[in-house]
Structure 1
């Protein structure tokens, strides 16, 4: 039986985020190991598909955009599968079941790869719709000026930054794109992984839930993005400090320490994002006893939500 969509209070958005922050206390080796593996796989995908840039000499601007577009398409198809695997690891750890970092590839074993990958096409479709709105809102000369600015940046020339004819409409189009791409695409991942829904049903139900729970979704998104920006700023400052300190020993050490900090930030970002979406799915969609139905074990009681854990 397909669970109904629940209307949840605004404050649940904060609870999802707090519980996601505390996720690492369950099985940190598996959860953060899976996040690190996810980053490595995405890096490998981008490295492979941008290899023509390193082997074929310096391409023209059109060739550069074409290679980058293919690489981004490949990453867009792979990313939902990896996010589904990370949510699987989070779910197993949350329910107290044994799980390892390599269970990131559980969607392949559970035959969820194709519908999850197709979510990437939904993301691309939303991006194209947003791009069409932006083309209309920015005016005819904006993109020509933008391409000229990119050429200038590549060749070292300073160009004037183009301005949109309707900046308010541009901001609105971007806001709608980011909201629905997050609320619809990301929340569809656990529906496909754990509720057994097909692609179309998962997207329809996620879209309905994004409207029905607009307040809690927006509240969670706002808190998450604010926290991510503040944490990113702190990590950037810390990376600059350790880079300078490490460079006093050897430049390679400084770059290595900065890379470690940014990788740790990326891992935490992925875990909290996927954890927030997982708890949103469980709160809005999943029926009682869902963990037992899907995995064979009764879910453990959630950790306290009124405090942070290191």
Structure 2
């Protein structure tokens, strides 16, 4: 097993700052990779809308592309970190390096969790409960669309027909599964790309490292949520301005691309920083980047 290093809770903030700092060092190169990811996703989704018969195939392609693109984006992040130039071709570096099968192992726990949660939903709620839930959701939707003032007694009567306790238990299991998947996948891709680890080994080590450093993980995700909200708010304001000039369709398309150009490199940079601190060997991590000053928070 790899040596897992203990980091302080403040490391979670450092990871996020490193992500912003790396994006600042190469905004066009890294931002263009995020845009390529977004454009590719939009084109594939547009194809599924034009040819509905391809919907299942398109969803499968998007599912497969996610781990591959993340591996490539992490490679580009390391290039920038070590003073080299990030290139668009890096987005498929995982395929070129022969790491695609190991990166795709990231889909296995997600598939297992989906099957398990689906089975538990049928066991806990049952088909009758699911049908009743569907009926209640339809009625609640009709009430909201009617524009009339909702009657609390009527809503309470509808909810009372549901197996609320079992649905709540399933939602708690869903939340626990999401947390476990997040911890297992967080630093899995950089291990596959840079440590040449197998996918299953990287999943286990990511889970161990994340649990070993839960305070740092908690700090990171809280700050990341705040940062995402702030970035989204800024992009929406920009989209409103663009919408007055070029129309809402163009504004929303530009807003989505801007979000991908910022959020994906920043998140990949944070994952890369977390891997370097918790798991990376000196040979795999390369030289340490210059420290990021606190002033970069406001600049980002």
TM-score under structure 2 length normalisation: 0.81
Deviation string, structure 1 residues 49-96 (Cα, Å, up to 9, x no partner): 55532xx6xxxxxxxxxx655543332221000000011101111110
Q: Which residue of 2 aligns with 1:203?
A: 203
CA distance in 2, matches of 1:254, 1:181: 36
Shift of 1:277: 1.2
CA distance in 2, matches of 1:47, 1:121: 27
**Would you tell me which structure has more helix in proportion to its own residues?**
2
Inter-CA distance 269–171: structure 2 relative to 1 (3 Å threshold) = farther
Aligned residues: 285
CA contact (8 A) 1:3 1:287 kept: no
Deviation string, structure 1 residues 92-142 (Cα, Å, up to 9, x no partner): 111102331221111111001111123123222223334444555656545
CA distance in 2, matches of 1:193, 1:171: 34
Inter-CA distance 219–68: structure 2 relative to 1 (3 Å threshold) = farther
CA contact (8 A) 1:76 1:121 kept: no
Match status 1:277 vs 2:271: yes
Match status 1:260 vs 2:248: no
Q: Which residue of 1 aligns with 2:38?
A: 39
Inter-CA distance 9–131: structure 2 relative to 1 (3 Å threshold) = farther
Inter-CA distance 151–77: structure 2 relative to 1 (3 Å threshold) = farther
Inter-CA distance 92–257: structure 2 relative to 1 (3 Å threshold) = same
CA contact (8 A) 1:12 1:216 kept: yes
Inter-CA distance 89–237: structure 2 relative to 1 (3 Å threshold) = same
Q: Which residue of 1 aligns with 2:80?
A: 93
Q: Which residue of 2 aligns with 1:232?
A: 232
TM-score under structure 1 length normalisation: 0.78
| Structure showing greater relative contact order (alpha-carbon pairs closer than 8 Å, 6 or more residues apart) | 2
CA contact (8 A) 2:103 2:192 kept: yes
Inter-CA distance 28–253: structure 2 relative to 1 (3 Å threshold) = same
CA distance in 1, matches of 2:61, 2:136: 27
CA contact (8 A) 2:67 2:189 kept: yes
Greater shift, 276-285 or 139-148, is seen at 139-148
CA contact (8 A) 1:152 1:158 kept: no
Unaligned stretches of 5+ residues in structure 2: 147-154
SS of the residue 2:4 aligns to: coil
Unaligned stretches of 5+ residues in structure 1: 57-66, 247-251, 293-298
Q: Which residue of 1 aligns with 2:289?
A: 301
Q: Which residue of 1 aligns with 2:150?
A: none
Q: Which residue of 2 aligns with 1:249?
A: none
CA distance in 2, matches of 1:237, 1:28: 21
Q: Which residue of 1 aligns with 2:11?
A: 12
CA contact (8 A) 2:16 2:220 kept: yes
Q: Which residue of 1 aligns with 2:97?
A: 110
Q: Which residue of 1 aligns with 2:216?
A: 216
CA contact (8 A) 1:186 1:277 kept: yes
Shift of 1:46: 3.3
CA distance in 1, matches of 2:269, 2:32: 15
CA contact (8 A) 2:30 2:261 kept: no
Residues 138-157 of structure 1 aligned to structure 2 (within 5 Å): 140-145=127-132, 147=134
CA contact (8 A) 1:5 1:285 kept: yes
Query: Which of 110, 119, 125 lines up with 2:106 in the alignment?
Result: 119
CA distance in 1, matches of 2:179, 2:234: 25
SS of the residue 1:75 aligns to: helix
Q: Which residue of 2 aligns with 1:60?
A: none
